[in-house]
Structure formats: structure tokens, C-alpha cells
Amino acid sequence: MSKLLAVLLSCLLLPRVPADGVQQQLRRSELAGARLAVCVLDVETGERLYAQALDEPMAPASNMKVLTTAAALSLLGAEHAFATRLLAAAAPDDQGVVAGDVVVLGGADPCLREDLLAHEGVQDPADLLADLLEAAGVRRIEGRLVLDDGLLDREWLHPDWKAGDIGNDYAAPIGALSLHGNCLTLLVEGSGPRATLATLVEGFRVRDELLAGPTSRTYEVGALRPDADGMVRVQGRIGCAVEAQAVRVPVIDPAAFLGQCLLARLHQRGVLVRGGLIVEAGAAARAPHELARLESPLVNAVLLASKESDNGLADHLFKYLGATRGGEGSFAGGEQAVLGYLRQLGTPVEGVVLRDGSGLSARDRVTARLLADVLRAMALRRDAAGAAFLRSLPVAGLDGSLRDRMQDGALLGAVRAKTGYISGVSCLSGLARTEKGRTLAFSILINDFDPRFSNKQMKAIQDDICRALVTQR
């Protein structure tokens, strides 16, 4: 038997995706007037099994994180680690005195946050930095605590992000020094009512403007970003029976915020910093002695960026790729780095626009072909980067942003995919394991759907398409 005939026969024996089943879902009335792009391909063979508007540039929402995390793992490697370095001109003397400044050199590490360090028993990453300085013998700093954030630019918020977003923790600033996800944590409770600052930090105060709610369970609370004097206003109504609730508020300057948290921890330990605090890019050049360093694995950031759709982690990765692979530590540099990775794959990038790494920008544009090709490329890898990428995708009915979706027997655990939603946009891209044991890469991009319909309805359609893929005969 010739090799060509064997290949043809093997293709005939492969079960086909029920195109009618996919098309049936795409003809549903909820999608009337919406723009749709869909791609389904076989991971093993590369055969394209279903395509609609394959190369139409579409807004991806958080499906953008597929590209960001794949690029980060591919360009940097699964073993890569971020580093935050503590520097001085010279080691402390026998009394633990640093004669000059101590410089905190930012390495764009977004992982200095409680949820990513809880497994190590760390309750406050600023305390961890203070531990490192104490372990290096520092008991007093005669100079200043200098925050060097020069690795990334200071366009902390993307100009595309909507004004209604930037007061929320999912649109916190992106900089080379990051702590607590660059958010203050406040505690509000109905008894009082009252609001207090939970983050140990210098230079911030709370203005409690809470009112008693009309019922014991009322909870209508919000907080404004701190003003230039560090004042955080907490407003709204809260019922007397509401127990303590955490409210996260983005700060303005992430580097200064890290410094203010570290100062508070040092002062708590009796470590005096005579010169106060300053933010200065490039300060590390005059501090050649490394007192200590704190490293965080890249895979930790990738895991949570995708699994829980964390915008801050994804945009830190994006800018960091710009700094290390794209010419500059900016959103524009991130675009160049990720586009470079996509070109290496050989997939078309015409019409692709990557404004940020999270998909929060409504001006991002990708194609269904591109997303499916990247998913296939990562699924075919037999290395640590491929394994980390697959592990980061939410699993249907089990974890991440898919924990409450596709929980029935056929789909439970059979789909790993990235969700995505911004106004008028609902997307799902990932990998589906069919009942016949075949792995399919797919991308479902829905744009401009009728505002009479909800994202919940769009997600139901996506789930039904996945059901058609998984249960193919």
C-alpha cells in the first residue's frame, strides 16, 4: 500500500466533526445580527474541521490571554523567574548600618501577592522583603529607600481602558514594581457601620462615608481610588448584620505603594530609614552590592492569569515581554514581542492588533484561526512550557472561570478553555477531548451581539458547541 493511500484511508477513518451540530447553534436567534468567527481543527493532524469567518479580526476579550501566556512560556521558558533585587552601594557595617541608600530594583514581578504566596505561608509579601533585608544584616538605613521601576514604563493604565473600569481591582496599574496586585484592601462592616484600612502601609487614610442600610443585609459599598494625599473615600450603604467584607481599591503609583508598604514593615521591626522614600528609575546603577533577591516562577503568573482570568498578571506579562523581547517595557513593546512569537509559528497576523495583554481593551483584534493555531501548537509541545500552558487553562465544570460551566457528564473535564467577556463580546477558545479520544482545538468569537441578550446566553451557546464537539460520532 502506498504511503499516500494509507494517509487517505486514515483520514477517512477519522470521525468527522458534526458540522450541522455546530451550525445549528450558530443559527440560534440570540446570535441574530452578531458577528461570528469559529475555527475547529484536529490537534494531531492539523486538519481544519470547521471554519466560519476564519480570518476576520475580532475583539477577543480575555481570550487574548491565550496569546499572552503562550508567548510568555515560549519566549521565556517554563523555568524563567522574575527577580526583585535589594541593592546598596556597599554591605551594612558591623552594626547593621547601610551608609547610603537601599534600592529596590523592580523586575516586573506580579506575583508578590497573598494568593500566590499563601502556599508558602506568606501573609504579606512586604514582610517577606523586610525579612530579606534583616537576613542581610540591615538594622538601619542612613540614606533613602529608593524604588527603581525603570524596567517598565509608567503608562500604568492603558488609554483604551474605560473610565468605569479603572476604579476596579481588575484594572489596577501595571509597573515594574508590584505588590498586593497594586491594590489597597479595606474592611467594611455593618456594625457601626465602619470602614478601616487592612493593608499595613504608610501614607494612606480612609474617609468613612458609609451610611446605615435600609435593611440589615443591605450591601451597596464602593471606594474611590486614593487622591494625591492618600485619602481613600468609602461610600455607600451597609446593613447592620453584614459581617466584615474586603474591598480592594487600586492605587495610583505602584512603585511608591510597594515602598510605603515596605517602610511600614521595616518601621514595625525598628529598622530606621532616615532619608524616607523616593521613586527613581535607573537608581540601581549606583548600587552594585546585592543585599538580597526575591524570585518568583513565571509559571505561577501564567497559571493564575489564565485559570482565573487575572488581568493584572496578564498585562504585567505583556509589558515584561516587551522589556525582554519587544524593545521596550510598554504595551507597544508587548505587542511587538507577541507578534514576533506568532510570526515564528507561521500563522497569519494580518489585521491582528494587540493593544494589551489581558483583552480588557475593546480595540484588540485577533482571528479564530490564530487562536486555534496557537492552542494546537501549545498542545503539541512535549516540554514543560506546553505542560504549564495546558495546566493553566480552566477545566470544564472543575476549576477556574469554567468551574460553573459544562458540569454534565459528557463535558465535565473534557474541555480546557479560556473564557472572555467585555461589553458586546463573548468568546471561548481552547481544547476539547472527544468521546472518541480525539483532541480538537477550537475558537468561538462572538462580537456585537444584541444587547437584549446576555453574556450568560452567549456562554450557553458556546457550551452547546463544545457539546457537539465532544460527543461527535
Q: Which residues are catalytic?
A: 62, 65, 309
d(CA 148, CA 86): 10
Using CB atoms within 10 A of its CB, is residue 376 exposed (0-12), middle (13-18) or buried (19+)? buried
Q: Which of 126, 76, 67 is nearest to 320 (CA)?
A: 76
Please name the residue ranges forming H helices in 272-422: 298-307, 311-325, 331-345, 368-380, 384-392
Q: In the numeric block, which cell numbers belong to residue 364?
A: 484588540
Q: Is the peptide bond before 193 cis (omega within 30 degrees of 0)?
A: yes
Helix, strand and coil percent figures for the chain, each rounded to 5 = 35, 25, 40
Residue 428 makes CB contacts below 8 A (sequence gap 6+) with 63, 417, 418, 419, 420, 442, 443, 444, 459, 462, 466
Dist CA 37 CA 425 (whole Å):
12
What are the beta bridge partners of residue 249? 184
For residues 357 and 333, the answer to whether their CB atoms sit within 8 Å is: no
CA contacts within 13 A on the Cβ side of 379: 26
Cell numbers for 472, please give them.
Answer: 461527535
First-last CA distance in the chain = 28
What grid cell was written down for 335? Answer: 505587542
- Measured CA to CA, the distance from residue 115 to residue 458 in angstroms comes to 30
Amino acid sitting at position 283? A
CA distance 54 to 49: 12
